Amino acid sequence: MSLDPRLLAVLACPVDKGPLYYLGDDEGLYNPRLRRRYVIREGIPVMLPDEAVEVSAEQAAGFDARIAAGELKPTSDR
Protein backbone atom coordinates (compact mmCIF):
# COMPACT_ATOMS: atom_id res chain seq x y z
CA MET A 1 0.00 0.00 0.00
CA SER A 2 1.36 3.42 -0.85
CA LEU A 3 0.20 6.82 0.25
CA ASP A 4 -2.35 8.67 -1.85
CA PRO A 5 -0.60 11.21 -4.12
CA ARG A 6 -3.13 13.85 -3.04
CA LEU A 7 -2.05 13.37 0.58
CA LEU A 8 1.63 13.48 -0.34
CA ALA A 9 1.07 16.77 -2.19
CA VAL A 10 0.03 18.53 1.01
CA LEU A 11 2.36 16.94 3.55
CA ALA A 12 5.11 19.12 5.00
CA CYS A 13 7.41 18.84 7.98
CA PRO A 14 5.59 19.98 11.12
CA VAL A 15 8.81 21.53 12.44
CA ASP A 16 10.28 23.57 9.56
CA LYS A 17 7.22 23.46 7.25
CA GLY A 18 9.39 22.37 4.32
CA PRO A 19 8.80 19.51 1.89
CA LEU A 20 9.44 15.88 2.76
CA TYR A 21 10.56 12.97 0.59
CA TYR A 22 8.46 9.81 0.49
CA LEU A 23 10.70 6.78 0.96
CA GLY A 24 7.90 4.22 0.86
CA ASP A 25 5.55 2.94 3.52
CA ASP A 26 8.29 0.88 5.19
CA GLU A 27 10.74 3.79 5.48
CA GLY A 28 8.42 6.80 5.88
CA LEU A 29 8.94 10.45 5.00
CA TYR A 30 12.37 12.08 5.15
CA ASN A 31 13.34 15.67 5.94
CA PRO A 32 16.91 16.24 4.65
CA ARG A 33 17.21 19.63 6.33
CA LEU A 34 16.71 18.24 9.84
CA ARG A 35 17.84 14.66 9.14
CA ARG A 36 14.57 13.36 10.55
CA ARG A 37 12.25 10.62 9.31
CA TYR A 38 8.54 10.39 10.01
CA VAL A 39 7.25 6.83 10.17
CA ILE A 40 4.09 5.52 8.54
CA ARG A 41 1.95 3.22 10.68
CA GLU A 42 -0.87 1.24 9.11
CA GLY A 43 -0.87 3.57 6.12
CA ILE A 44 -1.01 6.75 8.22
CA PRO A 45 1.94 9.16 8.41
CA VAL A 46 2.83 9.95 12.02
CA MET A 47 3.63 13.67 11.78
CA LEU A 48 4.32 14.29 15.46
CA PRO A 49 7.74 15.93 16.02
CA ASP A 50 8.33 13.84 19.14
CA GLU A 51 7.81 10.63 17.17
CA ALA A 52 10.26 11.51 14.38
CA VAL A 53 13.33 9.30 14.09
CA GLU A 54 16.79 10.81 13.83
CA VAL A 55 18.60 9.66 10.68
CA SER A 56 22.27 8.70 10.92
CA ALA A 57 24.83 10.47 8.72
CA GLU A 58 25.21 7.28 6.66
CA GLN A 59 21.46 6.93 6.09
CA ALA A 60 21.17 10.64 5.29
CA ALA A 61 23.92 10.34 2.68
CA GLY A 62 22.04 7.49 1.02
CA PHE A 63 18.73 9.36 1.03
CA ASP A 64 20.42 12.55 -0.20
CA ALA A 65 22.01 10.62 -3.07
CA ARG A 66 18.58 9.31 -4.08
CA ILE A 67 17.22 12.88 -3.99
CA ALA A 68 20.15 14.18 -6.09
CA ALA A 69 19.60 11.38 -8.61
CA GLY A 70 15.95 12.42 -8.97
CA GLU A 71 14.71 9.12 -7.56
CA LEU A 72 12.84 10.90 -4.74
CA LYS A 73 10.59 13.90 -5.28
CA PRO A 74 9.50 16.49 -2.69
CA THR A 75 6.00 16.13 -1.25
CA SER A 76 5.15 19.80 -1.67
CA ASP A 77 6.54 23.02 -3.07
CA ARG A 78 6.37 25.00 0.16
Domain count, the chain: 1
Task: Give the pLDDT of residue 76.
Answer: 79
pLDDT tens track for 12-33? 999 999 999 999 988 999 999 9
**Is the residue at 31 inside a domain?**
yes
**Is the residue at 21 inside a domain?**
yes
C-beta contacts of 12-20 below 8 A and 24+ residues apart: 12/75, 12/76, 12/78, 13/38, 14/47, 14/48, 14/49, 15/49, 15/52, 17/78, 18/78, 19/74, 19/75, 19/76, 19/77, 19/78, 20/74, 20/75, 20/76
What CATH number should be reported for the domain holding residue 33?
2.20.25.10
**Is the residue at 77 inside a domain?**
no
- Domain extent, residue 61, equals 5-68
Task: Give the pLDDT of residue 34.
Answer: 97
**Is the residue at 35 inside a domain?**
yes
**Is the residue at 73 inside a domain?**
no
**Is the residue at 75 inside a domain?**
no
